[in-house]
Amino acid sequence: MKEVETIVDQTEISFPKLGWVFHIKRTAFTVFGLDIQWYGILITIGLLLALLYCFSKMKRFGIDSDRALDVAIVGIIGGLVGARLYYVAFRWDEYKGNLKEIFNTRGGGLAIYGGIIGALLFGLIACKIRKVKMLPMLDVTVLGFLIGQGIGRWGNFVNQEAFGTNTNSILGMTGGLIQSRIRRETSFLDGEMLAHGLDVSEKYMVHPCFLYESLWCILGFFLLSWYSKHRKYDGQLLLMYLTWYGAERFVVEGLRTDSLYVGSSNLRVSQLLSAIVCIASVVIQIVIFAKRRRDPEAFVLYASTEESRKLIEESRRKRMGMPPEDELHNDDDEELYEDILDDEDDDELPDADDEELADEEDTGAEKVPSEDEEDTEADTDKEEE
């Protein structure tokens, strides 16, 4: 591998083989003395785009968007809390001496898997409370996950983190902070890279792991978004997402130099979790496929049910200030409605004479006299005699 130039400027990021050089500060701007970081901005952009997309597709999944909004808010809070707690839990030695730093997330320190777990736990509780069907909600949610992950990963690019071991790839990168961190963590006994036996040097390019995951998530979004129109059962997109992301994360995590580890071992937490998630989701999909072949009617999409249609319609009427669908009309409207029906009934009923004439023409039978007519004819005959 060809050596790269030593970079002194900590804001410089370079892709040597592509000839690209960027100078990006972590801080985007300052408001009232508060530094606003690019990391937070990019995560926020990803979150907003995910929300916009998901809420535009709620009806496709049979979900009432008003109820889903409450679930989304709770899920976002759970995602942020989970992402931070997950990261802190596996780096406790860095935070146990300064607990205030746990709440400082402006410089990074959020774990994707923690965010997913937190969002799912909080979101499912909210689904239960707001009576939102869980599996359809999860199906549309994972599409939002892919958008958020695809965009949010670029926060790692600005922070010059989530990079991998050395590579000679055309996408190989380096940077001032990257080289500085590699030197620090491979030269000292307490360096994390040295402690876990990682063979990496600041003299060569490294894998842009953030880029691999970003592109994989964006591609996954387009594929799953297209397939959402053809899904066979609720929860299918969730399982496909777990397979898709789990497979990628297992591979890319093996390249990274900043992984979270199980204790003092060299077992990477996210790599282990990715393997379990990927394999389990594939097995579940195979089982469901077999069951669906035997009994396809047992797998009905919630969006096609009467319950879904009723909830969406009730929400629509509520937004428009209309009474619920099953609510009776007021007295004036009810009387008017009955008058209209009476008029329509009168127009449709034929006259008695017309009805008798029609019966004679259709049957060709003679008119049958009534009992009174028979008695009158009998009296007439007697008088004549």
- Divide the 385 residues of the chain into consecutive groups of 10 and give the mean pLDDT of each group: 93 96 94 89 95 94 92 94 90 83 77 91 94 95 96 94 95 96 85 87 96 97 96 96 97 93 89 96 96 90 90 81 59 45 48 50 50 52 48
Asked whether residue 206 falls in the same domain as residue 269, the answer is: yes
pLDDT recorded at residue 375: 54
Specify the pLDDT at position 370.
52
- Length of the chain in residues, anyone? 385
- Say whether both 220 and 329 belong to one domain: no
The secondary structure of 168-204 as a DSSP string is -STT-BEEHHHHHHHHHHHHSTT-HHHHTT----TTS
Exposed, middle or buried, 28 (CB in 10 Å: 0-12/13-18/19+)? middle
Q: Is residue 365 a part of any domain in this protein?
A: no
Do residues 259 and 322 both lie within one domain? no
* CB of 271 closer than 8 Å to CB of 254: yes
pLDDT for res 105: 76
Is pTM beyond 0.85? Reply is: no
Contact 180, 7 (CB under 8 A): no
| 134-152 vs 236-253: helix crossing angle, rounded to 10 | 30
Residue 80 placed within a domain: no
> Which residue is it, tokens 């008798």?
356
How far apart CA 138 and CA 58 sit, in angstroms, is 11
Same domain for 281 and 322?
no
Q: Is residue 289 part of a domain?
A: yes
pLDDT at 336 (0 to 100): 42
Please, are residues 182 and 193 in contact by the beta-carbon 8 Å criterion?
A: yes
29 contact partners, CB below 8 Å, separation of at least 6: 36
What CA–CA distance (Å, rounded) separates 164 from 286? Answer: 34
Does residue 169 share a domain with residue 238? yes
pLDDT of residue 229: 93
How many structural domains is the chain composed of? Answer: 2
The span from the CA of 165 to the CA of 199, in Å, is 7
Which structural domain range is residue 334 located in? Answer: 305-348
Task: Provide the pLDDT for residue 95.
Answer: 84
Q: Please report whether residue 361 resides in a domain.
A: no
186 and 321 belong to one structural domain: no
| 321 assigned to some structural domain | yes
DSSP string across 146-174: HHHHHHHTHHHHHHT-S-BSB--STT-BE
Does 137 fall in a domain?
yes
What one-character DSSP code corresponds to residue 254? T
